[in-house]
Amino acid sequence: MHPPEPGQSAPWHGTTVLTVRKAGLVTVGGDGQVSIGQTIVKANARKVRRLGKGEVIGGFAGATADAFTLFERLEGKLEQYPGQLMRAAVELAKDWRTDRYLRRLEAMMIVADKDVSLVLTGTGDVLEPEAGIAGIGSGGNYALAAARALIDGPLDAEAIVRKALDIAADICVYTNRNVTIETLTT
């Protein structure tokens, strides 16, 4: 990765967030490492939390302050559209893409409720992952590949997320084993 151009922010690393939906459970998990460049600045960040009165799980990759701003906006949309995660996510994505302030936010989000799992991006994407599995962040593709390999086995959604995050931590230097896991019954 190249250093940022003058006037650009430093590239961010340090996150692996994964969601798996299987056999009546949906789990979102994320590691706790935050890095700036090659330096670990925090090892126990909570990048996964419950939203919308506990009925939605969200996880983020990217700038922490930006992600918390997006979580707050999503909570507002969930209050406006209770029980409608897809509608709330689409409304947030529209705002994120068109609002001058929000457009500058550098983060991605995974959100899930009992019915749907989604990946949200600042380009207006609201993506429902294939087979109920999605990964974001610097180790997201490693965790995604591991989860896909484990999905047909005997492990439940939470065990798959734990194992896949552990595998990602073996591969991605920006991912650690200090994980936060949240699970909902579907």
Beta bridge partners, 56, equal: 51
State which H helix or E strand residue 80 sits in.
Answer: helix 64-80
Structure tokens at 121: 């991006």
Q: Which residue has the tokens 């996510």?
A: 89
Give dist(CA 66, CA 102) in Å, integer: 8
> Strand 39-42 to strand 180-185: parallel, antiparallel, or no bridges (unpaired)?
unpaired
Q: How far apart are CA 54 and CA 52, in angstroms?
A: 5
Which is the catalytic residue, given 15, 19, 27, 175?
Answer: 15
> Is 16 labeled as catalytic in the residue annotation?
no
Distance CA 116, CA 119 (A): 10
Q: What are phi and psi of 96, to 5 degrees?
A: -60, -40
Residues annotated as catalytic (active site), given as ranges: 15
